Structure 1
């Protein structure tokens, strides 16, 4: 007998089809967003679309922004524009060469800047709570790689601060 999932569980499903190392993916749901992935020529691809590794890093920035927006609402903080720079260091010995070991990134570094009205203590809480609550951050952190999460607050433009 299957158990019913908790009401708070939302399923995310993706369907993929492809040949070689290129793939067309469809996010299942009402919108049916379609996206494409390929690989660098060194990995057997034509570099016709972003690598799945870029999507992984991009999902990290996007999920942090979504999660921080939810956390900011809970904390009564206003957020404005964002910038993210994310770098993942991947040793390709396992992926390409078949060496023993873990094919994961060795290190991922997130550098984020966000416009906010948060005081320093509230900003620190925003960052720590976002890290705790962000599903993609937790995927990376729990994978055992070295994870650096460096956020910087920037002042909100005067019009945004007024509301």
Structure 2
């Protein structure tokens, strides 16, 4: 287990149990949130729950929204409703076919629309600072895949 090297480090933990390709994950902490993971039949699952890859892409959009809320407070702007469209392109040749190479997504694209009172320059600062500070965005960007994002400002 990771140690807490400084006061600003927050450990995120979970416990998982399962069989076959299905799994029940219990998130650490007082709330004890649980979620199920499965996968598409092509990968041996029953498609009874989202796949780990769907959760990863969901984590990307939700982490951007959370991080942007933090950044918006610092910038003094108000955010309203969000919409995200996220696509991850996965070549299954490595994962399923056993070929040599990288099992990562080839590309991930994010399209976000957010209602805000930010002007154009402040909105661009919100976007760039959010992507810089969002842990999940950084996981994707630093993994070597082709990452793109397109954020649209909508009237609040």
TM-score by length of 2: 0.97
**For residues 113-149 of structure 1, what are the alpha-carbon distances to aligned partners after superposition, in whole Å with 9 as ceiling and x for unaligned?**
0000000000000000000000000000000000001
Task: Name structure 2 gaps, 5 residues minimum.
Answer: none
CA RMSD in angstroms comes to 1.1
Query: Could you say if the C-alpha distance between residues 63 and 4 of structure 1 is closer, same or farther in structure 2, counting changes exceeding 3 Å?
Result: closer
User: Residues 89 and 4 from structure 1, CA distance in 2 versus in 1: closer, same or farther, beyond 3 angstroms?
Assistant: closer
**Structure 1 residue 142 and structure 2 residue 121: aligned?**
no
Counterpart CA distance in 1 for 2:53 and 2:3 is: 34
Runs (4+) of structure 1 exceeding 2 A deviation are none
Gaps of 5+ in 1: 157-163
Change (3 A) 1:138 1:98: same
- Give the drift of 1:30: 0.8
Where does residue 61 of structure 2 map in the other structure? 61
Whether 1:77 aligns to 2:107 is no
| Aligned length, in residue pairs | 155
Q: 1:58-111: per-residue Cα shift (whole Å, max 9, x none)?
A: 000000000000000000010000000000000000010000000000000000
Question: 1:4: how far off?
Answer: 5.2
C-alpha distance 18-107 of structure 1, shift in aligned 2 (>3 A)? same
TM-score (norm 1): 0.93
Whichever of the two has the greater Rg, that structure is 1
SS state at 1:18 partner: strand
